[in-house]
Amino acid sequence: MNIKGRKVFVQDGNVDKALRKFKKKISEDGLLMELQERQFYTKPTVKRKLAKAQAKRRWKKWLASQELPKKLF
């Protein structure tokens, strides 16, 4: 019997530490994001709209970081 997937071993009965390691492995692989994306179908037009809005937010954030600080009197 060959079990595929992620494995994390519990050492000294420390389940919390093993759970943290497992969550870290899953998030690094991007499996959690993929699962959330597959949970609901989003139309391609909505995906494009969201991507464009995120690009605008990034651009505005970059512009704000390039401004000079206001003078204090």
Average pLDDT over residues 44-69: 94
How far, in Å, CA of 10 to CA of 18, rounded?
Answer: 6
User: Could you tell me which residue, 49 or 71, shows the higher pLDDT?
Assistant: 49
pTM comes to: 0.50
Confirm if 57 and 49 have CB atoms less than 8 A apart.
no
Domain ranges of the chain: 15-66
Split at pLDDT 50, 70, 90, the class of 5 is: low
Split at pLDDT 50, 70, 90, the class of 48 is: very high
